[in-house]
Amino acid sequence: MTLTLAEALRRVETRCAPATASKLVPLAQAQARILADDIVAPISVPASDNSAVDGYGFRHGDLEIAKDQGLLVVGVSAAGRPSVRDVAAGEAIRIFTGAIPPPGVDTIAMQEDVARSGDHVTVRADIPLHANIRRAREDIAQGSVVMCAGRRIEAIELGVLASLGITKIAVRRKLRVAVLSTGDELVEPGEARGAGAIFDANRPTLVGMLNRLGCEVTDLGILRDDRPRLAETLASAAREHDAILTSAGVSAGDEDHIRSIVDSLGGLDFHSVAIKPGRPIAVGHLAGVPFFGMPGNPVAMAISFLFIVRPALLRLAGAAPKPILRFPVRADFAMTKRAGRREFVRCSLAARGDGLYARKSLRDGAGVLSTLLDADGLLELDEAMTDIQPGEALPFIPFSEFGL
């Protein structure tokens, strides 16, 4: 039975609960890790009101005096060195960015809007009440949930955590993923290549995409079309990993052993999804460990990984679901497609006067991996579509949505 992409994803979601425990790590080691627990702010940021500019603080009720006669400057408040003197009527204080306004100050004029002569300063503009004062807690309030479990920690998250004084956080253990390629025709790059042999491009592609997800990858190399050896290797991998990925060997040929092995060692959930490229994919489990057998054609393998395997691995790793963003662009080509199948068209983008246009790759075979080099992303054509016309607005998924 062939599933739609939506049906396949629903099945994957129900079978892929987080597979990893959590551990405390220093903030410096947390990048690209998945947050295991909610982060509750231990303090407020900022902890107190402070100046957003370099300038002069005063009472807003003195604004007309400040514009006509000027105010007496009675001190300085600097970041980390707040003034201990209150500011009274008719007075002002020199204040710098980040400094706490002393009692009496409810408005700050930036230094570009004032003129100073000796001990007096004159305001040269209409300044609204509370101008240029950053309020306590306006960034983060103590006790609020700043980040939820399942969030991937990157540079901005590290900065926010540091602003709260946090030094360690609980993250999920890295997902352990085993990867192997199958096929008598495959050889490693650098090895002698006989007649009919091809260099294995799928495994390096998979390993690279898994590294971007922060997985701990075990590369099991190339395995020949030897059913006993394949079964032994997969059974061993299931004992030591959280997920197993293979490429090739999932069709119905005499030398395609993967589906029958998965059936015998665990269970096959589904093996066909109505997408192009990428229809044959074996999804199941080996002794309870999720298994994903992807197509041998490199582009079909990449599409299967991005739209089916990647979301499954993120759920296994404990990451919170995050929808793929799609952006409307216009097709600059015409094409027809079969109804009932979702297609992903490799495209580059070109800007024109009325918006962005997607240009279809001149080559679209499932084995032409180099077409992904020139593409900016994928134009998505849903199951109901059959006829695409130039200028038609369609959803486009940039490769950046996958971290590529």
> What CATH number does residue 129 fall under?
2.170.190.11
Question: Is residue 369 one of the residues assigned to a domain?
Answer: yes
Q: Are the beta carbons of 184 and 224 closer than 8 angstroms?
A: yes
302 within domain boundaries: yes
Looking at the domain assignment, is residue 348 inside a domain? yes
Distance CA 367, CA 256 (A): 18
Whether 321 is covered by a domain: the verdict is no
Quote the mean pLDDT of the chain: 93
Q: Is residue 58 in a domain?
A: yes
Looking at residue 252, what is its pLDDT? Answer: 57
347 and 361: one domain? yes
Q: What is the pLDDT of residue 20?
A: 79
User: Could you read off the pLDDT of 169-184 as tens digits, one per residue?
Assistant: 999 999 999 999 998 8
- Using one digit for the tens of pLDDT, what is the confidence trace for 61-102? 999 999 999 999 999 999 999 998 999 999 999 999 999 999
Looking at 134, 158, 182, the residue that finishes a domain is 134
β-strand partners of 192:
none
Same domain, 40 and 147: yes
Domain match, 188 and 300 both: yes
Please, how many CA atoms are within 13 Å of residue 141, restricted to the half-sphere of its CB?
4
Residue of 251 and 328 predicted with greater confidence: 328
Given this model, what pLDDT does residue 154 score? 95
Amino acid in position 2: T
Assign 3-class secondary structure to 182-195. Answer: ECCCEECCCCCCCC
Is there a single domain that holds both residue 178 and residue 250? yes
Q: What is the span of the domain harbouring residue 112?
A: 50-134
- Residue 276 within any structural domain of the chain: yes
What is the 3 state secondary structure string of 55-121? EEEECHHHHHHHHHCCEEEEEEEECCECCCCCCCCCEEEEECCCCCCCCCCCEEEEHHHEEEECCEE
What average pLDDT does the segment 369-376 reach? Answer: 92
Number of structural domains (the chain) is 4
The reply to whether 267 and 376 lie within a common domain is: no
Q: What is the pLDDT of residue 19?
A: 82
137 against 250, higher pLDDT: 137
Residue 324 scores a pLDDT above 70: yes
Amino acid identity for residue 384 in this structure = A
What is the pLDDT, as a whole number, of residue 146?
97
Helix H or strand E segment including 168: strand 168-172
pLDDT in tens, 185-206: 898 888 888 888 899 999 999 9
**Predicted local distance difference test score (pLDDT) of residue 253:** 53
- The CATH number given to whatever domain includes residue 158 is 3.90.105.10
The whole-number pLDDT of residue 322 equals 86
Q: What is the mean pLDDT of residues 274-280?
A: 91
Q: What is the pLDDT of residue 379?
A: 97
Q: Are residues 184 and 312 in the same domain?
A: yes
Residue 250 counted as domain residue? yes
Residue 255's pLDDT band (boundaries 50, 70, 90)?
A: low
pLDDT of residue 264: 87
